[in-house]
């Protein structure tokens, strides 16, 4: 209660005065005189307004008086005339009865309206407000009591939205909201579960009606479209009134009785309704004996223009496949009722079965959707009729399909999809033939929209909608739906989507990268095909093995090749003679990096007489052997066999001949690098050069032939020819990163560092994340005495290496021009390894380590195998990485980067940073001879010669041909004065393993000079100078050789 309502509060507590109502009566009686005085005094505009108000009040008063006044009505009496004479003054009084008749129009209308309905519960118990509502206290101190919670069942509409709690006076709980009611038809003696449309009248109060409260005796409006009730004009009744007969809040459901109009009941009497109900039941059961008996009763009713008897006879003939008599009966029914939907549907189906499509369309064209325009539709009483109309529209769609009229066929199928959900609220009640029609409609709509309209998304939508229907599909239809949906999504929707994302790299900079984002279509198609595989009988028949091909296609979209191999193995189990599947199995194993199994299957395929002359399989086998398994002899054999087959079968196909020759040449080139002796290496290089020349002569426009030919010339130190063929390769393919890298190495071997630097920059503009180009660029910068810029380049190389699997292409690296080249810092070189390598020397001190600090650091933590190979640091890029989980190629690249960075730090006397780099390299590969070499070199730099010799010896133990370690050991022997041992070691290395090492020849010259062999030492120095002119900054063996 508001604070100012103190008067009402006083009245509630103490009551009113004893003469309160007497005072009100007197005041009301005196008000007439008061109003009269005011009317006599007022003038002007106020007088006009007052007269208008009084005029309206008088008119309303006269109307009420006329409505309530009574008059006497005379009418003739039905009594017999009495015998005897009657006086004249009594003649007008006899034979007439007088009655008091109310002329109240409102009461008369109420009587007519009340007499129109049979109400099951004319009176109900009154419900108090305390029983209807529960007081809800609100406010900070729970003192406000203006809210009420309804404790009875309520109904709210579909679009109902609650008011905000601040303004909601009446709360209708969700648990007491009902949307459906059990409505009993008093004549059909059947109960239906119908939707509630509205609450028309609650007898308790209009407020309860407005709130939608449903109590016993409430009149509600329900949706009776499923009952088939009609009006006098034949229109379908959609909404009808019903009275609630139970207490819904106690029983948990609403029971109601349909209110039948007396006028409608008079038109369709109970006998006819009951008889039609029994006939429909017998027609659904196809009980012809009972129908004949019921038809006799029905004919006695003398209902005019009823085609029911002819329809029943036609149905009986159709059940016996007697189409002739059925057609006669249906034509008779058509004459009686030309627009009867059942008759038209039956006639169209018969003509369709006779393959008379035009005549069938003449009948099907008159079918109408009963739900599109209810005012023009016929009566729908049961499931049988709606099923027949659905079948008719389905057959009409098939007829239009046969004639090629796609738009009309699509409209027919869409009509089927529009009808069934509007009639069947419970889809499990649909019979099997109707299910087939609905499923066929979905399938045909999806096919038409995809094939004829190109609307794949709409086709997928309809297939999904059909799969979501809960009436139980047959296995065949379910399989067909899944296969159609899976093929549409896997073959006609692209899921190869690359989206730009911003990632935070190691330098705390946001870098824009392109990442592959798989879409849901591929996943859904995989689920579809897997379900089909599950529902098919196991083992699958040869006809059902198509599912494996579809699954393989979807897995290919996801780039998952090992599941493809498993699927082809299953498919081969059903058809082991299919050579195509064997080849596909080998290819899938190859793509999933199962090279040994792939090679084994290829060898088995080549042993088969059907594929023994396959050129492509032999080239693939050669590629696997040379690129992945390092079976160089076998790979060269396969390539030679392919070359011979090409010469015999397709001698004019120079492209294939060139490809085979290229494979042979690359195989011999890799074999040369794996050779242990120089003679064997030289022999393999000659064979490689021979076949690569042949490949180039056969196809001079293939840049790969020119590139590999330039590479083999670089190996034999013929730099001019190597430069020539590298330029030819870049002419045909200017975007080849490997060619730019090789050109940079060749220019650096000629000591033309400026031109090599510009070449490297040009290559990086096209491929800015190429690790090899970054490494050679850093080496060139070191050769140009620009150590600071070299360290920046190494940092960029590590950044790209860490993001290699995540990035595709980044912007050109403009940061290299920031630092001025050939400019030394005044306080020594600055370290740029702060991106993740932090030591005590790089945190608070100058980045240039002193000799004393380095020695003390190394003495405190000696570089043993345990500390380097098994140690873990907190601030390294490789923490948590394992050589078993990383790709071998990525491991080798990381090792190469760490070792190159370590060498750069050693050259700049930044020993602790070099030590950290070696730790990272040892974590990736503890038993690498290169790692042991650089560890020994670092120790040698610190004059820890004994430990350095141990590491050199370990490197030679792992690889006896490790030239750098052997030369360093020979240098130690030379310093100790053991000239003979030094000479033997250097001679062995130069003769057997690497005669192109200019460092080895130079050291041998020094040894011979000390021995006094001046001529031999002079020859060694000359040889060293010649080799140094063609020696690159990075060895040519770092360039990967693979068959494209």
What are the tens digits of pLDDT across the range 727-778?
898 888 888 888 888 888 888 888 888 888 888 888 888 777 777 777 788 8
Query: In this structure, what CATH number is given to the domain that contains residue 196?
Result: 3.10.290.70
Q: What are phi and psi of 256, to 5 degrees?
A: -140, 160
Are residue 941 and residue 953 in the same domain, yes or no? Answer: yes
Q: Give the residue among 398, 375, 447, 992 at the shortest CA–CA distance from 677.
A: 992
Residue 33 maps to a domain: no
- Specify if 263 maps to a domain: yes
The CA distance from 902 to 933, in Å, is 12
220 within domain boundaries: yes
CATH of the domain at 750: 1.25.40
Q: Can you give the pLDDT at residue 33?
A: 94
39/22 Cα distance (integer angstroms): 26
Domain contains 923: yes
- What pLDDT, in 10s, does the model give residues 934-986? 888 888 888 888 888 888 888 888 888 788 888 888 888 888 888 888 888 88
Last residue of a domain, one of 926, 959, 992: 959
Are 779 and 728 members of one domain? no
**Kind of pairing, strands 170-171 and 190-201?**
unpaired
Q: SS3 for 100?
A: strand
Report the pLDDT averaged over residues 687-715: 89
CA distance 1001 to 1030: 14
Can you give the residue range of the structural domain that contains 300? 270-431
Structure token digits, residue 880: 């948590």
Q: How does residue 813 score in pLDDT terms, banded at 50, 70 and 90? A: very low
pLDDT greater than 90 at residue 149 = yes
Q: Buried b vs exposed e over 503-522: b needs ≥16 C-beta within 10 Å?
A: eebeeeeebebeeeeeeebb
- Report the C-alpha dihedral over residues 662, 666, 668, 669, rounded to 10 degrees: 130
Residue 599 domain-assigned (yes or no): no
CA 226 vs CA 191, 222, 375, 423, 438: distances in Å? 12, 11, 15, 7, 19
pLDDT at residue 808, rounded to an integer: 27
Query: 673 pLDDT band (50/70/90 cuts)?
Result: confident
* Residue 101, domain member (yes or no): no
Nearest-Å Rg of the Cα atoms of the chain is: 51
The answer as to whether 438 is a domain residue is no
- Please tell me whether residues 276 and 296 are part of one structural domain: yes
Q: Are 661 and 691 in contact (CB under 8 A)?
A: yes
Mean pLDDT, rounded, for 2-17? 83
| DSSP code string of 738-779 | HHHHHHHHHHHHTT-HHHHHHHHHHHHHH-TT-HHHHHHHHH
In a domain, 762, yes or no: yes
Q: Do residues 1014 and 870 share a domain? A: no
Final residue in a domain of this structure, among 772, 790, 824 = 824
pTM of the model: 0.55
Answer positive or negative: Cα dihedral of 567, 573, 577, 583.
Answer: positive
Q: 794 with 873, same domain?
A: no
Distance (Å, whole) CA 819 – CA 780: 15
Last residue of one domain, picked from the residues 824, 852, 884: 824
Note whether 870 and 1012 are same-domain residues.
Answer: no
Q: What span, in angstroms and rounded, lies between the C-alpha atoms of 442 and 526?
A: 21
Same domain, 895 and 1038: no
856 and 932 both lie in a single domain? yes
CA angle, corner 182, sides to 178 and 185, nearest 5?
Answer: 145
Residues 278 and 423 in one domain: yes
Which phi and psi angles does 931 have, rounded to 5°? -65, -45
Q: Which of 625, 661, 669, 662 is nearest to 643 (CA)?
A: 661
CATH number at residue 410: 1.25.40.10
Confidence of residue 111 (pLDDT cuts 50, 70, 90): low
Query: pLDDT tens digits for 790-802?
Result: 878 777 777 766 6
Question: Domain count of the chain?
Answer: 6
Of 1-5, 126-130, 209-213, the least confident? 1-5
Return the DSSP state at 492. Answer: S
Judge if 286 and 407 occupy the same domain.
yes
**Same-domain pairing of 222 and 198:** yes
Q: Are the CB atoms for 626 and 669 separated by under 8 Å?
A: no
Same domain, 952 and 966: no
């Amino acid at each position: 209660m508001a604070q100012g309502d103190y008067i009402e509060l006083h009245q509630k507590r103490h009551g009113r005065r004893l003469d309160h109502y007497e005072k009100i009566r007197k005041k009301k009686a005196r008000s007439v005189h008061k109003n009269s005085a005011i009317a006599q005094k007022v003038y002007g505009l106020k007088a006009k307004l007052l007269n208008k108000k009084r005029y309206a009040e008088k008119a309303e008063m006269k109307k009420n008086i006329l409505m309530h006044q009574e008059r006497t009505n005379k009418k003739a009496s039905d009594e017999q005339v009495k015998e005897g004479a009657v006086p004249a003054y009594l003649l007008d009084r006899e034979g007439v009865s007088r009655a008091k008749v109310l002329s109240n129009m409102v009461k008369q209308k109420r009587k007519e309206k009340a007499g129109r309905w049979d109400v099951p519960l004319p009176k109900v118990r009154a419900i108090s407000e305390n029983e209807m509502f529960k007081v809800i206290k609100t406010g900070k101190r729970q003192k406000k009591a203006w809210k009420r919670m309804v404790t009875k069942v309520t109904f709210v509409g579909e679009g109902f939205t609650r008011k905000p709690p601040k303004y909601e006076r009446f709360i209708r709980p969700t648990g007491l909201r009902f949307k459906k009611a059990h409505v009993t038809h008093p004549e059909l003696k059947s109960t239906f579960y119908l939707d509630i449309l509205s609450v028309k009248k609650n007898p308790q109060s209009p407020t309860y009606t407005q709130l939608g409260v449903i109590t016993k005796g409430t009149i509600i409006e329900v949706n009776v479209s499923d009952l088939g009730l009609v009006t006098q004009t034949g229109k379908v009744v959609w909404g009808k009134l019903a009275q609630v007969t139970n207490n819904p809040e106690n029983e948990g459901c609403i029971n109601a009785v349909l209110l039948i109009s007396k006028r409608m009941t008079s038109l369709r009497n109970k006998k006819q309704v009951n008889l039609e109900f029994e006939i429909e039941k017998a027609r659904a059961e196809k009980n012809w004996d009972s129908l004949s008996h019921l038809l006799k009763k029905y004919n006695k009713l003398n209902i005019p223009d009823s085609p029911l008897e002819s329809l029943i006879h036609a149905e009986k003939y159709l059940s016996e496949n007697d189409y002739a008599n059925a057609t006669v009966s249906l034509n008779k029914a058509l004459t009686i009722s030309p627009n009867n939907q059942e008759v038209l549907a039956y006639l169209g189906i018969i003509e369709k079965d006779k393959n008379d499509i035009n005549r069938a369309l003449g009948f099907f064209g008159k079918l109408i959707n009963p739900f599109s325009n209810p005012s023009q539709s016929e009566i729908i009483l049961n499931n049988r009729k709606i099923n027949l109309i659905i079948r008719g529209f389905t057959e009409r769609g098939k007829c239009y399909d046969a004639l090629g009229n796609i738009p009309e066929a699509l409209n027919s199928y869409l009509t089927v999809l529009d009808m069934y959900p509007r009639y069947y609220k419970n889809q499990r009640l649909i019979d099997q033939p109707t299910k087939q029609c609905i499923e066929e409609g979905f399938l045909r709509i999806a096919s038409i929209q995809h094939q004829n309209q190109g609307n794949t998304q709409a086709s997928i939508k309809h297939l999904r909608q059909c799969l979501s229907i809960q009436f139980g599909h047959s296995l065949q239809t379910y399989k067909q739906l899944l296969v159609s949906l899976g093929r549409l999504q896997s073959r006609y929707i692209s899921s190869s989507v690359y989206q730009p994302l911003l990632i935070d790299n190691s330098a705390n900079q946001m870098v824009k990268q392109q990442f592959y984002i798989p879409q849901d279509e591929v996943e859904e198609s995989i689920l579809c095909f897997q379900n089909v595989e599950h529902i098919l009988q196991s083992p699958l028949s040869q006809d059902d093995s198509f599912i494996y091909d579809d699954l393989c296609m979807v897995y290919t979209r996801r780039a998952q090749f090992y599941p493809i191999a498993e699927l082809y193995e299953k498919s081969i189990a059903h058809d082991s003679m299919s050579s195509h599947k064997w080849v596909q199995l080998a290819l899938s194993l190859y793509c999933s990096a199962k090279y040994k199994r792939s090679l084994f299957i290829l060898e088995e395929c080549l042993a088969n007489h059907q594929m023994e002359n396959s050129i492509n399989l032999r080239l693939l086998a050669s590629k696997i052997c040379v690129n992945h398994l390092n079976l160089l002899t076998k790979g060269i054999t396969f390539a030679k066999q392919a070359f011979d087959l090409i010469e015999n079968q397709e001698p004019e196909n120079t492209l294939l001949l060139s490809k085979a020759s290229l494979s042979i040449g690359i195989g011999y080139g890799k074999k040369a690098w794996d050779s242990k002796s120089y003679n064997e290496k030289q022999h393999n290089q000659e064979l490689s050069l021979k076949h690569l020349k042949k490949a180039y002569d056969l196809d001079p426009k293939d840049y790969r032939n020119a590139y590999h030919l330039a590479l083999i010339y670089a190996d034999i130190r013929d730099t001019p020819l190597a430069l020539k063929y590298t330029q030819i390769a870049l002419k045909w393919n200017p975007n080849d990163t490997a060619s730019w890298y090789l050109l940079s190495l060749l220019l650096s071997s000629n000591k033309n560092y400026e031109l090599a630097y510009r070449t490297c920059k040009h290559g990086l503009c096209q491929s800015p994340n190429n690790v090899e180009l970054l490494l050679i660029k850093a080496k060139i910068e070191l050769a140009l005495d620009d150590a600071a810029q070299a360290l920046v380049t190494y940092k960029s190389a590590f950044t790209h290496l860490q993001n290699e699997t995540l990035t595709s292409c980044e912007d050109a690296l403009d940061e290299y021009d920031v630092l001025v080249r050939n400019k030394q810092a005044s306080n020594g070189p600055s370290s740029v390894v702060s991106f993740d390598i932090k030591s005590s020397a790089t945190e608070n001190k100058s980045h240039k380590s002193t000799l004393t600090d380095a020695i003390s650091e190394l003495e405190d933590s000696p570089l043993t195998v345990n500390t380097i190979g098994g140690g873990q640091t907190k601030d390294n890029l490789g923490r948590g990485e394992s050589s078993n989980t990383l790709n071998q190629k990525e491991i080798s690249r990381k090792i190469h980067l760490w070792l190159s960075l370590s060498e750069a730090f050693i050259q700049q006397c930044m020993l602790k940073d070099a030590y950290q780099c070696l730790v990272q390299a040892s974590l990736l590969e503890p038993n690498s001879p290169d790692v042991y070499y650089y560890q020994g070199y670092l120790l040698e730099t610190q004059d820890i010669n004994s430990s350095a010799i141990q590491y050199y010896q370990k490197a030679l133990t792992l690889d006896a041909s490790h030239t750098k370690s052997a030369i360093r050991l020979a240098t130690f022997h030379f310093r100790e004065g053991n000239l003979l041992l030094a000479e033997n070691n250097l001679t062995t290395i130069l003769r057997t393993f690497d005669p192109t090492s200019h460092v080895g020849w130079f050291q041998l010259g020094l040894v011979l000079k000390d021995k006094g062999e001046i001529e031999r030492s002079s020859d060694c120095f000359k040889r060293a100078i010649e080799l140094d002119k063609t020696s690159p900054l990075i060895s040519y063996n770092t360039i990967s050789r693979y068959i494209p």
